[in-house]
Chain A
Amino acid sequence: RDAKIRLGYVSPQSGPLAAFSDADRFIIEGFLASDAGSNFEVIVKDSQSNPNRAAEVAKELIIDDEIDMMLVASTPETTNPVATTCEAEEIPVISTVAPWQPYFIGQQGNPGDPGSWRPFDFSFHFFWGLEDVISTFTAMWNQLDTNKSVGAIFPNDGDGNAWGDPNVGFPPVLDAQGYKLTDTGRYQNLTDDFSAQINAFKAANAEIVTGVPIPPDFTTFWTQAKQQGFTPKAASIGKAILFPQAVEALGDQGHNLSSEVWWSPNHPFSSSLTGQSAADLAAGYSQATGKQWTQPIGFVHALFEMAASVMGRVEDSRDPDEVAAAIAATQLDSMVGRIAFDGKGLPPFAAANVAKTPLVGGQWRLQDDGSYDLVVVDNSDHPEIPTGGKMEEIS
């Protein structure tokens, strides 16, 4: 074959979610420079963090650029419209960096009715799920001595609705493990005042806080909590404190905040493309850009590993059915761990479309120079990933 295989890649490169895509260029250049990468052409589109735009560029990639396969990353706001479009267009798509529930359930017609949920034919996803983050968070909390009273801030968006879902979210698991959850309801993003939540948490004497707010909202919440004298022992927060800048924005109030860790330079994985270790990849990024490593780096890299692996196993890259079958058959040891659509750890309805990657828990520790370091403090679900310390109370 003389023509190169065409990959479409969509991610939020501008707009409020742009931080997720900081490493895109670095990863893609690395991919194209690799041996396997030389067979590919990657057409990159920016969703501008806007779901309308994400769907539009997906269509453009499919129709005008006639891509063979779509890759899409970062938050349900981008992955879902792109995956929906590909599914309708019958183009294979691999997505990542969104917990699988908002990805899978969020694309169902009626998310409230599990009976109506249907698997996808062309849409595949690898990441962890809420059950992982719940188990990681509770494992971290179990390291501490608390009253097991948890306050939750879940926004009314893809992530928040999934985390707070009474069937698949936090509430049933916490209940089962003997935690008492105070969930005041889904607030809108960019809320300026959290005193209602803080009052409710104080009233419930919550010693733990969890949630999945966007960064500005978490800053508002955390600052107000301190001002109003609410000082939990643990705060395990998804999304908002993913990036070091967001934690730095909290000043010294970010110390010992905990979060889920999906990838770090200490993860014992390496690239199937280049053989690089996680530490090599992170170091390469820092060297090329002068920026601190972030978690999406590993997953965006893995997305391209997937592309190379899948396309290496097909006869005709232009045949969507064959490509989809090849994706489904993937058994890849990647930069983010093993990716296989074998249904392991998943309910039957999602087994065909989702592959789970390992998740551990970490804590941000304030360094002497004022910067923050993410230390893995819990690996009970994935002992192969080494810890760097023990869970500490926020003092």
Chain B
Amino acid sequence: MTYTVSTRTPVSRIAAILGLGGTLILAALPFFAGRGTIQDMFFILTMLVLAQFWNLLAGYGGLVSIGQQAFVGMGAYALFGGVILWGLDPVSAILLGGIAALVIAVPTAFFAFRLNGAYFAIGTWVIAEVVRLSVAQWKTLGGGTGTSLPRSATRDMWLVEMIEEVLDVRSAAARDILAYWLALVLALATIGGIYWLLRSKNGLALAAVRDNTEAAKSVGVDAGRMKLVVFLTSAFGTGLTGALIYLQKARISPDAAFSVTDWTAYVLFIVVIGGIGTIEGPILGVLIFFALQSLLADFGSWYLLTLGLLAIAIMLIAPRGLWGLISERTGLHLFPIRRTLRGGKLSPSEE
């Protein structure tokens, strides 16, 4: 009697093919799209990465953090420090950003993991404030004033010259394209990595912990370690993203880099509106967020007012987010993780 296991569904196969095609188009985008599009896509991709990592934390790990700005800011400041103080190339300094975020994530976890639920949320927020206030004392990087990346550093960045030549664009545009490609790689790696995690036995364990922690422990799942790994991973990824975002902005200040609204509240909005606990949710969420911003941002406070009201409305209508609503109605999963056992006594007629 032999059994096989598969997670694919017909829909997911189509989705995979479409996804592959989409990825190729996205990779080739700089060859035919204007700079505006590239920048919009950069914004979408970086917000998507932040959203995926927050979703990993809150949606899969049950760790509702409102202190993600600590990792964005830390990653960004590490990039500036690496470039300005130690003369690193900006592209390699992005990695430094991820590592710096990881380094502060360790003591943060030590502290915050003693807290639960709402306490955890507030605790992470306070820690992020502590990091912000401490970084604001870092006088060589401008303290509370902030600082800008020297133009020489960004101009001579790796690959920029090559892109300039190959695509025949100005240096500023080449930098955008490089940043876009980096963001694309990061986003694909993030989605791929999270999908891989969810399909691994550790992903299964995460789901089990989410369903029933006590029972999960009783079958040998190390719930504490799972959470720690998730926390550190998302800190690292968030730090990388922070560094990349500020590489592109080229100017930093503590208030901007550690903004709870920009890097946590909007991210939370994206995930929850799209659908928490799914990979599809943040993708849908970031598109909605971007659409709203492009349509309404010029209306100043009316834009933010609308955003706030929309958050309330969607939470009341679709508590599991828009993707939750869609997949409930249609049973659609673009990233299926359910393992289906086939064969043996489960011959098709009995299935």
A and B, direct touch (CB closer than 8 Å): yes
Residues in A lying within 8 Å of B, measured CB to CB: 13-14, 45-46, 48, 50-52, 55-56, 59-60, 63-64, 76-77, 80-81, 84-85, 87-90, 102, 106-113, 116, 118, 155-158, 160-162, 186, 188
**Closest residue on chain B to residue A65 by CB atoms:** B36
Q: Is the CB of A51 within 8 A of B255?
A: yes
Contact yes or no, B144 A109, CB < 8 A:
no
Q: Is the CB of B140 within 8 A of A112?
A: yes
Contact between A161 and B144 (Cβ–Cβ < 8 Å)?
yes
CB <8 Å contact, B140 and A188? no
Q: Which of B248-263 contact A (CB under 8 A)?
A: 249-251, 253, 255-256, 259, 262
What are the residues of chain B within 8 A of A64 when measuring CB–CB? Answer: 36
- Give the shortest distance, in Å, between A376 (CB) and chain B (any CB): 30
Which listed residue (B36, B146, B151, B301) contacts A80, Cβ 8 A? B146
Whether the Cβ atoms of B147 and A106 lie closer than 8 Å is: yes
Contact at A14–B300, with CB atoms within 8 Å? yes
B148 within 8 A of A: yes
- Report if A90-B144 is in contact (Cβ < 8 Å); known contacts: A50-B256, A51-B253, A64-B36: no
Taking A51-B253, A110-B141, A158-B145 as known contacts, 6 extra A-B pairs with beta carbons closer than 8 A to each other, sorted by chain A number, are: A77-B255, A81-B251, A108-B147, A109-B149, A111-B140, A157-B145
With A89-B172, A107-B251, A109-B153 as known contacts, state yes or no: A80 contacts B148, CB within 8 Å: yes
Contact of A90 with B170 in the complex, beta carbons under 8 Å? yes
For B16, what are the chain A residues with a Cβ–Cβ distance below 8 Å?
A: none
Q: Can you sample 15 A-B contacts with CB below 8 Å?
A: A51-B251, A51-B253, A56-B43, A59-B39, A63-B39, A87-B151, A102-B145, A106-B146, A109-B84, A110-B147, A158-B144, A161-B142, A162-B145, A186-B144, A188-B144
Contact of B256 among A52, A102, A156 (CB under 8 A): A52
Instruction: Give A234 to B85 CA distance when docked, in angstroms.
Output: 42
Question: 10 closest Cβ contacts across the A-B interface?
Answer: A156-B144, A84-B251, A51-B256, A109-B150, A109-B84, A158-B145, A64-B36, A107-B148, A84-B148, A14-B300
- What is the CB-to-nearest-CB distance from A353 to chain B, in angstroms, rounded to a whole number? 13
Point out the residue from A59, A77, A186 that lies within 8 Å of B143, measured CB to CB. Answer: A186
**B35 contacts A by Cβ under 8 Å:** yes
Asked if B350 is at the interface of the complex by the 8 Å CB criterion, the answer is no
List chain A residues, Cβ under 8 A from B83.
109
B290 to chain A, nearest CB (A): 12
Q: Give A60 to B39 CA distance when docked, in angstroms.
A: 9
Give CA–CA (A102, B143) in the complex, Å.
12
Inter-chain CA distance A46–B255, complex, in Å, is 18
Asked if B170 and A76 sit within 8 Å, CB to CB, the answer is no
Inside 8 A of B298's CB, which chain A residues have their CB?
45-46
Known: A48-B300, A157-B145. A63 touches B251 (CB 8 A): no
B249 touches A55 (CB 8 A): yes
Give B15 Cβ to nearest chain A Cβ, in Å.
Answer: 32
Q: Is the CB of B145 within 8 A of A118?
A: no
Q: Which residues of B contact A60 (CB under 8 A)?
A: 36, 39
The chain A residue sitting closest to B154, CB to CB, is A88
Most buried by B among A56, A84, A155: A84
Bound together, the chains give a CA A161 to CA B262 distance in angstroms of 25
Tell me the B residues contacting A by CB distance below 8 Å. Answer: 34-36, 39, 43, 80, 83-85, 133, 136-137, 139-154, 170-172, 175, 249-251, 253, 255-256, 259, 262, 298, 300-301, 304
Main secondary structure of the interface of B (DSSP, over half): helix
Whether A88 lies near B143 (C-beta < 8 A) is: no
Contacting residues, chain B, for A51 (C-beta < 8 A): 146, 251, 253, 255-256
Whole-angstrom distance between the alpha carbons of A63 and B43 in the complex?
Answer: 14
How far is B159's CA from A314's CA once the two chains are assembled, in angstroms? 35
With A46-B300, A90-B172, A118-B150 as given contacts, are A52 and B262 in contact (CB-CB < 8 Å)?
yes
Asked if B256 and A106 sit within 8 Å, CB to CB, the answer is no
Q: List chain B residues, Cβ under 8 A from A80.
A: 146, 148, 251
Closest chain B residue to A112 by CB distance? B140
From A46, A76, A116, B145 is in contact (CB under 8 Å) with A76
**Shortest distance between the CB of B72 and any CB in chain A (Å):** 11
> Which of chain A's residues have a CB closer than 8 A to the CB of B256?
50-52, 81
Chain A residues near B262 (CB-CB < 8 A): 50, 52
A50 and B259 contact, CB distance less than 8 A: yes
With CB as the reference atom, state the residue of chain A lying closest to B255. A51
Residues of A within 8 A of B147 (CB): 106-111
Query: Which A residues lie within 8 Å of B304 (CB)?
Result: 48
Interchain nearest-CB distance for A342 vs B (Å): 24
The smallest beta-carbon distance between A60 and chain B, in angstroms, is 8
Q: How far is the CB of A278 from chain B (nearest CB, A)?
A: 29
The answer to whether B142 and A106 have CB atoms under 8 Å apart is yes
Q: How far is the CB of B172 from chain A (nearest CB, A)?
A: 5
Report the nearest B residue to A87, measured CB to CB: B151
Do A55 and B251 contact each other (CB < 8 Å), given the known contacts A109-B147, A157-B144, A188-B133? yes
CA distance A162 to B262 in the complex (A): 27
In the complex, the chain A residue whose C-beta lies closest to that of B293 is: A56
Q: Report Cα–Cα, A84/B139, bound state, in Å.
A: 20
Within 8 Å CB of B140, what residues of A?
110-113
Query: Once bound together, how far apart are the Cα atoms of A88 and B147, in whole Å?
Result: 14
Instruction: Report yes or no: B39 in contact with A111, Cβ–Cβ below 8 A.
Output: no
Q: Across the interface, which residues of A come within 8 angstroms of B249, CB to CB?
A: 52, 55, 81, 85
User: CA separation between A48 and B303, bound complex, in Å?
Assistant: 11
What is the CA–CA distance of A356 and B201 in the complex, to the nearest angstrom? Answer: 66
Cβ of A75 to closest chain B Cβ, rounded Å: 11
A59→B249 CA distance, assembly (Å): 9
Collect the chain A residues with CB atoms within 8 Å of residue B137's CB.
156
| Closest partner residue, chain B, to A13 (CB atom) | B300
Q: For B145, list chain A residues within 8 Å (CB).
A: 76, 102, 106, 111, 157-158, 161-162
The answer on a CB contact under 8 Å between B84 and A188 is: no
Q: Is the CB of A14 within 8 A of B149?
A: no
Q: Which A residue's beta carbon lies closest to that of B252?
A: A51
Closest to B299 in A: A46
When distances are taken between beta carbons in the complex, the residues of chain B under 8 Å from A108 are: 147-148, 150
Residue of B with least CB distance to A162: B145
Contacts of B150 in A (CB 8 A): 108-109, 116, 118
Given contacts A102-B145, A109-B149, A162-B145, contact A84 B250 (CB under 8 A): yes
